């Protein structure tokens, strides 16, 4: 069956405004609105519950603000890439001089709380509906999972040990969200939700083909591992990463480049991704494509890789060619083979382009890309957390406990065509995370922050392929810049209930 679009009353408490969400495409299918439910006529039947579950994913169809660019502007603050085009607000984010009110980051902030509100509505109302218990469990599992993922993304970006991220109370859903005392409290809430989700959700291979893209058990375990890693609970991070690994449900693909092919959207390496299509969901591939796409498509030309990232790859690492296009590399594009840059011309400030999401643009006739170049979504699912990262989470958790992590680190190295290492250290782990996950939603900037490496890294300029400086050294103050500013407009609306992060 197709996903049914839910148009429900969503209270975005951070803006103190109740509103009906607009009629956009659903997450995994093209669907039509089925009306506007109210609390008096909704939450009565199994169909209502299913409609609400579908609504958990609908905001992913915002191809720009959720997983198109959205919070990727925070990832862009890292040393792996530069903005790529003149864009004052986005440049301010990279230079750590933003306000928090910039549309590029305020819109995804809002959307995260909309989705969490929807999840809380499901959790509050579905248990009392008379319906098949297995279906009810699946719906509730999805709600706990989706809420936890949204919450984790907010907590990582806006929460610190001194002041946690805002959270809407389930006990008092109409109250203004309040910040938890510490981000540790956010992580405790997140991990509790994910444990509930894992207990309720089926394995991915038990889902109907039409349900692919919905939450499943090993995705909950994977996010548990990630949340515990961020909370510095390394024993539990290792435990839940190992739950994914020993489940027998996942495996690395033998060819790294194959991970980023449409045919492998739901391969053994899939854990959780943006379920995309040429009709919407994520414009990230098009955003990374050469500006104007050499006259064949409207690429945006953002998020251009740096020489620092290219130089991080070891000689012979197969991941480099799959990750980055550099001068004289050949690549398929609209049914033909070209040499980068096409015609010797490129708008790239660095002289590089991410290659990881280029497969949809390789086909003649553009059969896997949106015909609307202003919304350049594709049929390629963009990974949010994949199996290789789970392996590296386990490796990091083991290293932080003083254990040997050679097995895990060598799994990703050997696929890349590199020799095994012995006595792996955190330096090895940091290197592997960087080259394995470059250009993905794994968040290199947050990695540098949580490792305590951001200040020293950002004190150095960034370079392009010719060796010229393309981004000046930046001032990064860990006391302030380890977290991002709470949007001042919401602090004002809250009448001071929300507090600004220190220094902002």
Q: What is the CATH number of the domain that holds 28?
A: 1.25.40.390
Taking the whole predicted model, whether its pTM rises above 0.75 is answered as yes
Do the domain assignments include residue 392? Answer: no
pLDDT at 23: 29
Do the domain assignments include residue 19? Answer: yes
Confidence of residue 62 (pLDDT cuts 50, 70, 90): confident
The C-alpha atoms of residue 149 and residue 189 are separated, in whole angstroms, by 11
Q: What is the mean pLDDT of residues 327-345?
A: 98
Q: Which of 360, 380, 400 is the last residue of a domain?
A: 380
DSSP annotation of 178 reads E
The C-alpha atoms of residue 238 and residue 403 are separated, in whole angstroms, by 11
Q: What is the mean pLDDT of residues 240-255?
A: 99
Instruction: Count other C-beta atoms under 10 Å from residue 39's C-beta.
Output: 10
Which of 225, 140, 214, 157 lies closest to 190, judged by CA? Answer: 225
Do the domain assignments include residue 504? Answer: no
Task: Say yes or no to pLDDT of 18 above 70.
Answer: no
Do the domain assignments include residue 159? Answer: yes
Which of 137, 135, 278, 274 lies closest to 208, judged by CA? Answer: 135
pLDDT at 39: 67
Could you tell me what percent of the chain has a pLDDT over 90?
A: 87
Task: Say yes or no to pLDDT of 9 above 60.
Answer: no
Token code pair at residue 244: 């994914």
Is the same domain home to 84 and 184? yes
The C-alpha atoms of residue 124 and residue 178 are separated, in whole angstroms, by 19
Task: Say yes or no to pLDDT of 367 above 80.
Answer: yes
Is the same domain home to 54 and 174? yes
Confidence of residue 37 (pLDDT cuts 50, 70, 90): low
Q: In the block, which residue shows the tokens 């050469």?
A: 290
Do the domain assignments include residue 341? Answer: yes
The C-alpha atoms of residue 324 and residue 49 are separated, in whole angstroms, by 44
Task: Print the domain residue range for 365.
Answer: 284-380
Token code pair at residue 247: 């489940």
Instruction: Count other C-beta atoms under 10 Å from residue 105's C-beta.
Output: 26
Q: What angle do CA 486, 94, 73 make, to 5 degrees?
A: 70
Q: In the block, which residue shows the tokens 């956009």?
A: 24
Cα dihedral 221, 226, 230, 232 in deg (nearest 10) = 60
Element containing residue 272 per DSSP (H, E): strand 272-274
Confidence of residue 38 (pLDDT cuts 50, 70, 90): low
Is the same domain home to 86 and 192? yes
Which of 378, 388, 447, 390 lies closest to 412, judged by CA? Answer: 388
Do the domain assignments include residue 228? Answer: no
Q: DSSP assignment of 367-387, as one string?
A: TTB-S-TTS--BSSPEEEE-H
pLDDT at 174: 86
Confidence of residue 458 (pLDDT cuts 50, 70, 90): very high
Q: What is the domain count for the chain? A: 2
Task: Say yes or no to pLDDT of 12 above 50.
Answer: no
Q: Are 184 and 161 in contact (CB under 8 A)?
A: yes
pLDDT at 278: 86
pLDDT tens digits, residue range 385-406?
Answer: 999 999 999 999 999 999 999 9
pLDDT at 377: 92
Confidence of residue 60 (pLDDT cuts 50, 70, 90): confident
Task: Say yes or no to pLDDT of 40 above 80.
Answer: no
Do the domain assignments include residue 251? Answer: no
Q: What is the mean pLDDT of residues 181-188?
A: 99
Is the same domain home to 196 and 307? no
The C-alpha atoms of residue 346 and residue 369 are separated, in whole angstroms, by 21
Confidence of residue 63 (pLDDT cuts 50, 70, 90): confident
The C-alpha atoms of residue 401 and residue 412 are separated, in whole angstroms, by 21
Q: How does 479-492 read in b/e, with b if 16+ C-beta sit within 10 Å?
A: eebbbbbbbeebbe
Q: Which of 330, 358, 380 is the last residue of a domain?
A: 380
Element containing residue 397 per DSSP (H, E): helix 387-400
Task: Say yes or no to pLDDT of 6 above 80.
Answer: no
Do the domain assignments include residue 393? Answer: no
Measured between alpha carbons, how far is residue 357 from residues 251, 289, 354 in Å? 21, 9, 7
Task: Say yes or no to pLDDT of 15 above 90.
Answer: no
Task: Say yes or no to pLDDT of 248 above 90.
Answer: yes
Token code pair at residue 364: 């003649």
The C-alpha atoms of residue 97 and residue 100 are separated, in whole angstroms, by 9
pLDDT at 71: 94
Q: What angle do CA 344, 357, 90 make, to 5 degrees?
A: 80
Instruction: Count other C-beta atoms under 10 Å from residue 315's C-beta.
Output: 6
pLDDT tens digits, residue range 126-145?
Answer: 999 999 999 999 999 999 99
pLDDT at 301: 97
Which of 490, 479, 485 lies closest to 162, judged by CA? Answer: 479
Element containing residue 336 per DSSP (H, E): strand 336-339
CA 457 to mean position of chain CA atoms: 23
Three-class secondary structure of residue 305 per DSSP? strand
Q: Which of 331, 346, 380 is the last residue of a domain?
A: 380
Task: Say yes or no to pLDDT of 33 above 80.
Answer: no
| Average pLDDT along the chain | 92
Task: Say yes or no to pLDDT of 321 above 90.
Answer: yes
Which of 115, 133, 100 lies closest to 11, judged by CA? Answer: 115
Is the same domain home to 184 and 302? no
Q: What is the mean pLDDT of residues 498-502?
A: 97
């Amino acid at each position: 069956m197709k996903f049914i679009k839910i148009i429900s009353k969503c209270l975005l408490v951070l803006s103190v405004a109740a509103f009906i969400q607009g009629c956009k495409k659903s997450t995994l299918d093209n669907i039509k609105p089925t009306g506007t439910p109210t609390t008096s006529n909704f939450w009565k039947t199994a169909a209502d519950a299913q409609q609400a579950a579908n609504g958990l994913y609908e905001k992913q169809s915002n191809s720009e603000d959720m997983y198109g660019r959205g919070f990727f502007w925070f990832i862009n603050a890292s040393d792996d890439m530069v903005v790529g085009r003149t864009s004052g607000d986005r440049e301010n984010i990279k230079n750590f001089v933003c306000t928090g009110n910039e549309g590029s980051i305020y819109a995804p902030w809002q959307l995260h709380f909309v989705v969490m509100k929807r999840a809380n509505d499901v959790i509050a109302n579905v248990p009392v509906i008379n319906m098949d218990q297995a279906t009810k469990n699946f719906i509730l599992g999805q709600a706990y999972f989706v809420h936890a993922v949204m919450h984790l993304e907010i907590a990582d970006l806006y929460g610190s040990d001194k002041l946690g991220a805002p959270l809407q109370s389930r006990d008092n859903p109409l109250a203004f969200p309040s910040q938890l005392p510490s981000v540790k409290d956010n992580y405790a809430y997140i991990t509790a939700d994910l444990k509930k989700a894992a207990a309720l959700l089926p394995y991915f291979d038990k889902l109907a083909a039409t349900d692919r893209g919905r939450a499943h058990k090993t995705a909950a375990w994977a996010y548990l591992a990630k949340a515990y890693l961020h909370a510095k609970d390394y024993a539990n991070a290792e435990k839940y990463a190992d739950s994914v690994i020993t489940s027998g449900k996942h495996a690395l693909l033998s060819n790294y480049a194959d991970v980023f092919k449409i045919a492998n959207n739901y391969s053994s390496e899939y854990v959780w991704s943006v379920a995309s299509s040429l009709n919407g969901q994520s414009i990230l591939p098009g955003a990374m494509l050469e500006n104007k796409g050499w006259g064949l498509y409207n690429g945006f030309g953002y998020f251009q890789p740096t020489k620092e990232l290219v130089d991080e790859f070891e000689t012979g690492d197969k991941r480099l060619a799959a990750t980055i296009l550099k001068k004289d590399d050949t690549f398929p594009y609209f049914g033909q083979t070209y040499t980068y840059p096409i015609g010797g011309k490129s708008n790239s400030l660095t002289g590089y382009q991410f290659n990881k999401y280029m497969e949809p643009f390789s086909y003649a006739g553009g059969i896997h890309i949106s015909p609307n170049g202003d919304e350049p979504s594709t049929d390629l699912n963009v990974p949010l957390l994949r199996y290789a990262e789970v392996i590296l989470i386990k490796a990091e958790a083991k290293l932080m406990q003083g254990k040997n992590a050679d097995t895990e680190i060598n799994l990703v190295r050997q696929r890349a065509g590199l020799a095994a290492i012995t006595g792996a250290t955190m330096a090895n782990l940091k290197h592997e995370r960087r080259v394995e996950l470059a250009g993905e939603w794994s968040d290199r900037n947050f990695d540098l922050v949580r490792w305590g490496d951001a200040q020293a890294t950002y004190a150095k300029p960034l370079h392009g392929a010719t060796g010229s400086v393309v981004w000046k050294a930046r001032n990064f103050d860990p006391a302030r810049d380890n977290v991002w500013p709470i949007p001042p407009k919401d602090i004002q609306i809250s009448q001071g209930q929300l507090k600004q992060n220190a220094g902002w």
